[in-house]
Structure 1
Amino acid sequence: MKAGVEDGNGDIVVPLLIGNGDEIIDHKDNDHGFVSGSTSFFKTCFNSVNALSGVGILSLPHAVSSGGWLSLIFFFLIAASTYYTALLIQRCLDMDKNIRSYSDIGGRAFGSKGRAIISIATNIELYLVATGVMASFVLIGSVLWAAVFDGIGFHGKGTFVNLKGFPIAVSLYAFCYCAHPVFPALYNSMKDQKKFSKVMLVCFLVTTTSYASMAVLGYLMFGSKVESQVTLNLPTSKTSSKVAIYTTLVNPFAKYALMLRPVISALENHLTSSPSRGLSVLIRTGLVLSTIMVAVAIPFFGYLMSLVGAFLSVTASIILPCVCFLKISGIYRRFGFEMVLIWVIVLVGGVILVVGTYTALEEIIDHL
């Protein structure tokens, strides 16, 4: 197994798990001259679920607590919307086989400014996010075990709806669906790219099921008393709790270097065409120190995740795929159902971005 690598713009261009024998088999398209991968359908499914599964699962019970049971409607609406925008990314890639990354989509749609906007948004998001499919399933199993076998039970009292907490809840839901920047890499790595839509269907069904399971389990167990990370509610003396806590601790460390590699590459290429070893060490040290300072300065997990969800995840996973597809396809010139649907998604995403970002910043400032 090999880790993903990046192109000159700091974009991930091959998946975490690749073709048979862990070797990349390059195929040249005679019409476009691009290089495609050899990753199987099932490996691409695994990579996609791995990319979409992350630490956001810890905050989902808190999200339901913030908005009430009714807020789960927005969870499934966000899941459906981000699945649709993932398919829009695929359609952009199908239109121009020279597109190799998410930044390329922005460049194809809006030139250098579009490329820069998408590159900045996605790199900041990668800077703040760590992912992991196995960790998600281990966490769900540990929490379920604690409820059934460790005596916690399902006695939490929750509320049906809490309109005041809706912005935080919806922002946290959006944070869970922030893998769109890596979807072009997964698409280009596939041996049979026509099956990518099926990959996305499997990916979103698996992750949405796991996310919803954790949200419901955690809220039924602890109700309105659930913490911003559900692991904080678990009794530390129990083995299941220790497994969940250790998984939470190990997962970011295991993914830290991988998630920051595109950011490092982008910074190095922006500062100089041939970075020296000293500059590379300086950049890496600066990023490590800066992430530590961010973690220390803003130790409010739930509010920080809601800020990232509202400002970055909504931008990268909902708004940008829509506007880029409108521009590349030219569909904005033709009035029809899909054009209206896309503009509605953009409008709703804009509302979530503004209201969610404002609410999250307000909560963070109040708790400083």
Structure 2
Amino acid sequence: MKNSISEQSFYIESEEEDDEHLEKHENEEEGNESDFSNEDNNDDETNRPNSLTSAWPQSYRQSMDLYSNVPSPSLHFLGTPSLSRLGSSFFGSSLIRRHTPEVLPSLHKPLILPAEEEKAPHRRSSHGLIPPLHPRKSSIKKIPDIERPSKDAHGLPISHQSTYGQAVVNGMNVLCGVGLLSTPYAVKEGGWAGLSILFIFGILSFYTGMLLRYCLDSQPGLETYPDIGQAAFGTMGRIVISIILYVELYASCVEYIILEGDNLSAIFPNAHLSLGGFELDARHLFVLIATLAILPTVWLRDLSVLSYISVGGVIASILVVLCLYWAGLVDHVGFESKETILNLPTLPVAIGLYGFCYSGHAVFPNIYTSLADRSQFPAVLLTSFGLVTLLYGGTAVLGYLMFGDSAESQFTLNLPKELMVSKVAVWTTVVNPFTKFALTLSPVAMSLEELLPSKHTKSHLYPILIRTALTISTVVVGLAVPFFGLVMALIGSLLTMLVTLILPCVCFLRILKGKTSRLQVTICVLIITVGTASALVGSYSALSKIIQSII
């Protein structure tokens, strides 16, 4: 891709000259290797608009790839000698700049190796305006591995393309999060009839996930959710959508903090500490301890190890659910007849909780563009949504049958403390956020690092301060609003409805204006209406309950 340098660019002059020399040398070699390589590189240069490579945020793709691709372990801390060469980003300035002075081998290695280890020459949309049945294939012969380009359009090492199985696991890992813990509580708030909302949101979310694919295919160069926003509404659309996505990630970090305090204080309810005349109860104490334990992971420059471990989030979620089933079916905890069919007064809270369960759209474009066979994306999406919905639904039904109207915002808090399965479930829940917190916060931090003046790009101090300040702020918010279920309902009602239901439809109608069928327009308008109504009602209900709880 042609280099477009502005005054606010994060390039370093001396490295820029080296990069140009290296690029010239590589181009000469590529010219002697094959005509295909030249054609493909030139095609990428002309197809990806310069505005997409210069508008903020530039780090979104790479930071979110930690969710949709699993890199190989390459662990480095801040302050290493190579960091000054790599710039201010903890992943290396290659996430902000176009090149790095050294090659980072095996930076992105899938957890599940594909059958054929192929590298994608470029990540970009390859379909027409309306999704075809099969992805576009080149008639030119396959390039040997040694001749394939080792970097993508941003100069980053190109990760292995995902197989169907990998993509399904990645999709489930994104969708199956802490929302699983609150599904019994959601049934309590909405009643048995309210459980239908979970399945309705699942269907609508699957459809809007497909709309994101259509948007990516509408023109070359679109790779991320912010790219879609820019294609629909210009630079302002990119910025607004990015801010919404980052706020959602930040709010998820707040949930992790609340989760740690609630579960650790349940394990050690009598813990306390007197510090400087202040008496810290169990919850405040463990929030501070958890923060001190999490903080070093936030300072990591390369989070590939955490990304490896975080994929175990699917296994952790299944393990926690199995513990719930064991407690109910083997240890005979609970199981009373529940007659609450519909709970209208608190149904809006349930709407937000069910909406939160499908907050994965920020990563779906990354999963789609990393697929080796993009025609498999509908099947990937359907499988991921189907399995996750079954997991959510089964947990909701069993948890509410066991605990009824005494169901807590996290079902782990209802499990009898003396049972071994309870200890396994609680500790699994406690450990999981330690790997996910840094991965969730890093995209937010990296976007702020991009805004640093160029004179501070080599500084180690400013990135550390940014990430530390963000972490501390999540603690402050978590302690000020320590209501796990209500905060989740607010996130699900306000942010998830925007990201999952409203914005995909709005962008689809805007980008493909005049090329959509009447049925597509009708469905999109219906989804926008449902999303807007759910956002208004759910947000108002969650906010009012939070204010009442604080007062």
Q: TM-score normalised by the shorter chain: which range applies?
A: over 0.9
Match of 2:43 in 1: none
Q: Is the 1:53–1:136 Cα contact (8 Å) retained in structure 2?
A: yes
Amino acid at match of 1:301: F
Which amino acid is the alignment partner of residue 326 of structure 1?
Answer: L
Quote the sequence identity (%). Answer: 40
- Contiguous gaps of at least 5 residues in structure 1: 1-5
CA shift in 2, pair 1:176/1:275, >3 Å: farther
Letter in 2 for 1:352: S
Aligned residue identity for 2:213: Q
Where does structure 2 lack aligned partners over 5 or more consecutive residues?
A: 1-55, 71-108, 127-151, 257-309
State the one-letter code of the partner of 1:181: A
The answer on whether the counterparts of 2:125 and 2:216 sit within 8 Å (CA) in structure 1 is no
2:209 equivalent to 1:26: no
Asked if 1:298 corresponds to 2:481, the answer is yes
- DSSP-derived class of the 1:27 partner: coil
Report how far residue 36 of structure 1 moved. Answer: 8.4
Q: Does 1:116 align with 2:239?
A: yes
1:141 equivalent to 2:194? Answer: no
Q: Hey, what's the Cα distance between the residues in 2 that align with 1:211 and 1:175?
A: 11
- 1:328 corresponds to which residue? 511
Q: Is the 8 A contact 2:185 2:410 kept in 1?
A: yes
Contact 1:10–1:264 (CA under 8 A) maintained in structure 2 = no
Q: In proportion to residue count, which structure has more helix? A: 1
What letter corresponds to residue 308 of structure 1 in structure 2? I
Residues 25 and 305 of structure 1, relative CA distance in 2, 3 Å threshold: same
Is 1:47 paired with 2:170? Answer: yes
Aligned CA distance change for structure 1 residues 201 and 312 (closer, same or farther; 3 Å): same
Question: What residue in structure 1 maps to residue 534 of structure 2?
Answer: 352
Cα distance change of structure 1 residues 29 and 71 upon mapping to structure 2, 3 Å threshold: closer
In structure 2, the residue matched to 1:285 is 468
Corresponding residue to 1:10 among 60, 66, 73: 60
**1:88-145 Cα deviation digits (max 9, x unpaired):** 0011111123011111000110011110111011111112226832222111101000
Question: How far has the Cα of 1:152 moved from its partner?
Answer: 0.6
Tell me the distance in 2 between the aligned counterparts of 1:21 and 1:360.
43
For the 8 Å contact 2:509–2:516, the answer to whether it is kept is: no
Asked whether the equivalents of residues 36 and 191 of structure 1 are also in contact (C-alpha less than 8 Å), the reply is: no
Q: Structure 2 vs 1, CA of residues 261 and 156 (structure 1 numbering), >3 Å: closer, same or farther?
A: farther
Contact 2:174 2:360 in 1 (8 A): yes
Give the CA deviation at 1:275: 5.9
Letter of the 2:329 partner, please give it: V
Q: Which has the higher mean CA deviation after the structures are superposed, 23-32 or 263-272? A: 23-32
Q: Which residue of 1 aligns with 2:221?
A: 98
How much has 1:337 moved relative to structure 2?
1.5
C-alpha distance in 2 between matches for 1:366 and 1:147: 34
User: In the alignment, what sits opposite 1:65?
Assistant: 188
Whether the 8 Å contact between 1:66 and 1:168 is mirrored in structure 2 is: yes
Question: Which residue of 58, 80, 84 maps to 2:207?
Answer: 84
- The higher radius of gyration belongs to 2
Instruction: Summarize the Cα distance change of 1:13–1:363 in structure 2 as closer, same or farther, 3 Å threshold.
Output: closer
Per-residue Cα deviation, 1:238-294 (whole angstroms, up to 9, x for no partner)? 011111111111111111111111111111112335362111000010011011111
Superposition TM-score, scaled by structure 2 size = 0.63
Relative to structure 1, is the Cα distance of residues 59 and 28 closer, same or farther in structure 2, using a 3 angstrom cutoff?
closer
1:275–1:294: structure 2 CA closer, same or farther, 3 Å change rule? farther
Aligned length: 362
What's 1:3 paired with?
Answer: none
> How does the TM-score come out when normalised to structure 1?
0.92
Distance 1:31 1:288, change over 3 A: closer
From 522, 525, 532, the counterpart of 1:343:
525
The root-mean-square deviation of aligned C-alpha atoms, in Å, is 2.3
Matches within 5 A, 1:86-235: 86-129=209-252, 132-155=313-336, 157-235=338-416
Aligned equivalents of 2:125, 2:238: Cα separation in 1: 25
